[in-house]
């Protein structure tokens, strides 16, 4: 379940945050995630509420009674995007690029000349989502599981297709936008996008358990295993995989503690200048539920929340919070049995934010 889609439907969910970690609230969260693991919606779950200790449920590996590690590492998929967007906005604040400037001003000939930097971050560029044309399904994934992809190859998959719509006229979630954003960061900074994220975000915030793995297939540190079905539907341990196909759109690994630290700093305005902070959460009529790297939603109780989710083979992540300090981060390791955690996500949001 993509958090962006859930937010769009005002039923947010994946990584979330909360204002108070009172025992009753922690108990309610524990009950909900226990229901999710018991029903087969997940093999293991860890959730962090308002920066407090992680609440855990389920097991770290099929066929084992080993619990999900406390503050274990996991693949965060598209939760990579808010970190990349933050770097781009920092560069804008330093006058090194313009949000409304065409991408080709910095990367001549790379994409349609009408596409702006803002449209990349807001998913309004019209660029075809390259992952829609990759064999990421159970039958095809084994053929690319350990393959190394260059970002130019990922972009070529997209640009071989026509634009989904005229730039700026509609909204469509496209991983291609953040591959281009990563290339833009590299052009402006003169260093790999991973180094830019490390120097500008990870080191200042001391996110010591967050890594950009590049082509490494390992998940470092204590971690739960992730599973994905093969062509026959049998769960396969896919913890080890080459995440280069996600690159700046989804390669990162982190922990609930590090994501909590990042989201807290981001929403508190500690990473961006005031002008770029306002741009971060600015929505439009074309993109009413997504700012520049963050999904935006008003829950039925009236609380406005900001966040992102991510999915990659074997793992699901959700990161959600409010500028007032409520927040929740959640990592889910998939049991690969087809069960959906959607109702549990909605219950979590209700208990945490409403």
What would the mean pLDDT of 230-247 be, rounded to a whole number?
Answer: 96
Strand partners for 223: 73
Q: Could you identify the residue written with the tokens 């979330």?
A: 16
Residue 92 — pLDDT band, cuts 50, 70, 90? very high
The pLDDT of residue 347: 83
Choice among 147-161, 194-208, 298-312 with the minimum mean pLDDT: 298-312
Say how far residue 95 (Cα) sits from the centre of its chain.
Answer: 27
| Whether pLDDT at 224 is above 90 | yes
The pLDDT of residue 3: 44
Distance CA 75, CA 63 (A): 21
Residue 25 — pLDDT band, cuts 50, 70, 90? low
Choice among 50-59, 237-246, 284-293 with the minimum mean pLDDT: 50-59
Number of H helices, E strands in the chain: 12, 10
The pLDDT of residue 108: 98
Distance CA 4, CA 294 (A): 8
Write the pLDDT tens digit of every residue in 101-138. Answer: 999 999 999 999 999 999 999 999 999 999 999 999 99
Strand segments (E) across the chain: 44-49, 54-58, 74-75, 227-229, 235-237, 253-254, 295-298, 304-312, 315-321, 327-333
Q: Return phi, psi of residue 27, to 5°.
A: -65, -40
The pLDDT of residue 334: 79
**Cα–Cα distances in angstroms (integers) from residue 58 to residues 100, 239, 273, 346, in the given order:** 46, 17, 41, 19
Residue 259 — pLDDT band, cuts 50, 70, 90? very high
Mean pLDDT of all residues belonging to the chain: 90
What would the mean pLDDT of 77-93 be, rounded to a whole number?
Answer: 98
Residue 336 — pLDDT band, cuts 50, 70, 90? low
Distance CA 173, CA 73 (A): 26
Q: Is 57 a catalytic residue?
A: no
3-state secondary structure of 336: coil
- State how beta strands 74-75 and 227-229 pair: unpaired
The pLDDT of residue 52: 77
Q: Choosing from 78, 85, 244, 254, which is the catalytic residue? A: 78
With helix as H, strand as E and coil as C, how does 210-275 read? CECCCCCCCCCCCECCCEEECCCCCEEECCCCCHHHCHHHHCCEECHHHHHHHHHHHHCCCCCCHH
Return the structure tokens found at 91: 């560069």
Distance CA 42, CA 58 (A): 8
Write the pLDDT tens digit of every residue in 141-177. Answer: 999 999 999 999 999 999 999 999 999 999 999 999 9
* Residue 109: DSSP 8-state: T
């Amino acid at each position: 379940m993509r958090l962006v889609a859930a937010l769009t439907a005002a039923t947010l969910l994946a990584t979330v945050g909360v204002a108070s970690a009172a025992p009753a609230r922690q108990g309610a969260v524990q009950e909900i995630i226990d229901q999710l693991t018991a029903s087969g919606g997940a093999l293991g779950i860890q959730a962090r509420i308002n920066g407090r200790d992680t609440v855990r449920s389920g097991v770290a590996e099929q066929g084992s009674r080993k619990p999900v590690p406390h503050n274990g590492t996991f693949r965060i998929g598209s939760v990579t995007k808010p970190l990349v967007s933050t770097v781009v906005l920092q560069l804008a604040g330093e006058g090194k690029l313009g949000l409304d400037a065409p991408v080709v001003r910095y990367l001549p000939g790379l994409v349609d000349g009408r596409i702006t930097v803002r449209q990349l971050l807001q998913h309004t560029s019209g660029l075809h989502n390259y992952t829609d044309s990759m064999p990421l399904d159970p039958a095809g994934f084994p053929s690319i599981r350990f393959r190394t992809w260059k970002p130019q190859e990922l972009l070529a998959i997209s640009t071989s297709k026509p634009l989904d719509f005229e730039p700026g006229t509609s909204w469509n979630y496209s991983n291609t936008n953040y591959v281009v954003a990563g290339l833009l960061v590299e052009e402006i900074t003169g260093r790999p996008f991973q180094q830019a994220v490390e120097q500008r975000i990870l080191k200042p915030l001391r996110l010591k358990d967050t890594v950009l793995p590049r082509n490494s297939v390992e998940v470092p540190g204590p971690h739960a295993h992730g599973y994905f079905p093969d062509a026959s539907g049998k769960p396969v341990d896919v913890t080890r995989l080459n995440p280069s196909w996600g690159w700046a759109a989804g390669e990162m690994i982190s922990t609930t503690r590090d994501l909590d630290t990042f989201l807290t700093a981001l929403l508190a305005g500690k990473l961006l200048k005031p002008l770029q902070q306002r741009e971060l959460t600015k929505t439009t009529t074309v993109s009413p539920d997504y700012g520049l790297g963050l999904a935006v939603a008003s829950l039925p109780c009236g609380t406005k929340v900001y966040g992102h989710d991510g999915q990659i083979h074997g793992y699901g992540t959700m990161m959600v919070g409010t500028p007032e300090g409520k927040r929740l981060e959640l990592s889910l390791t998939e049991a690969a049995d087809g069960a959906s955690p959607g109702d549990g996500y909605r219950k979590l949001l209700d208990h945490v934010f409403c």
